[in-house]
Structures are given as C-alpha cells and as structure tokens.
Amino acid sequence: MTSHTLIAALYVFALAAFLGYQVISRVPPLLHTPLMSATNAISGISLVGSIVTAGAHYNTVSTILGFTAVFCSTTNVVGGFVITDRMLRMFKRKPTAQSKTGETGEKGKGERANG
C-alpha cells in the first residue's frame, strides 16, 4: 500500500465515521434493535473480501479460509436482513388513534419526539 492509497483510505474512513455519526444519532431508541441487526448485516460486506479469497485459489489454505469466511458472512448478511425486515414489519402505527378525542394531539407529540 502506498502512502497515497493510505491517505485516500483514511479520508474515506474519516468521512464515513462522520456521516455514520450524523445518520445514526438520528435513529430513535425505538429502533435500536433493528439498527443493530441492520448494521450487522451491512458489515457482512466482508463477504466481498471473502469471495475473492475463496475463488482466487492462491493456495489450499486460503481457499479453505475463504470458503469458511464466505459461509459465515453470507449467514450474517442473509440472516441479518431477513430478521431486520421481520422486525420492522411488526412496528405498526396505532390503527384507531383518531377515534378517541383529546388523545390525538398527545399521540402526535409522542411520535414526533420519537422520530
């Protein structure tokens, strides 16, 4: 790795960290569990590295390690996304919130604070 690629990579890292901080601090506590399983699925992106290792045939050991890594990270990606979807489908708005008078204003407030 030359110093140029390192510096470019550090830029990417720093900007991603900054952006991550901005985006993630806006996630309400309500969705912290889905957030964790979603970021977990996304970090399964190490799959990209594993795929090359498993397919390039550098040597037998690398292929075995790569294969195991592909298996592990695919489990992570698929499992993570499936379960995040499943969780998010459960979060529902109150169906008849409008039917009770005097309640709607308060409910709205709560929601906005949540979001």
Partner 1 sequence: MRTYFIELSYLLASILFILGLKGLSHPETAKRGMHLAEFGMLMAIIGTLMHLEIVTFTWIITGLVLGSLIGLAMGLWVPMTAMPQRTALSHAFGAFAAALVGISEFYRYGGHLETITMSALGFEVMLGALTTTGSLLAFAKLQGLVRGTPLTYRGQNVFNMALLATTIGIFVYLIFVPGSMTLFFVMVGLAFVFGLLLVMPIGAADMPVVMSLLNSYAGLASAATGFVLKNNVLIIAGTLDGFSGFILSILMCRAMNRSMTNVLFGAFGSAAKSDEPGSQQGTMREVSLEDIAVQMAYANKVVFVPGYGMATAQAQHAVRELADTLEKRGVTVKYGIHPVAGRMPGHMNVLLAEANVPYSSLYELEQINPEFPSTDVAVVIGANDVVNPDARDNPNSPIAGMPILEVDRAKSVVVLKRGQGKGFSGLENPLFFKEVTGMLYGDAKDTLTKLVGAVQHV
Rounded-to-integer distance, Cα 80 and Cα 111, Å: 27
Residue 89 contacts partner 1 per CB under 8 A? yes
Query: Sign of torsion, CA 21 27 29 85?
Result: negative
Report the nearest approach of partner 1 to the CB of residue 86 (Å): 7
Give the CA-trace dihedral at 81, 90, 30, 34, to 10 degrees. -10
Query: Is 98 one of the binding residues for partner 1 (CB under 8 A)?
Result: no
The one among 82, 98, 101, 105 contacting partner 1 by CB under 8 A = 82
Cα(15)–Cα(12) distance, rounded to whole angstroms?
A: 5
Using CB under 8 A, which of 95, 98, 101, 105 touches partner 1? 95
CB of 22 to partner 1, least distance (A): 9
Site string for partner 1, 31-60 (x = CB under 8 A): xxxxxxxxxxxxxxxxxxxxxxxxxxxxx-
Verify binding: residue 99, partner 1, rule CB under 8 A: no
Nearest-angstrom CA–CA distance, 13 and 5: 12
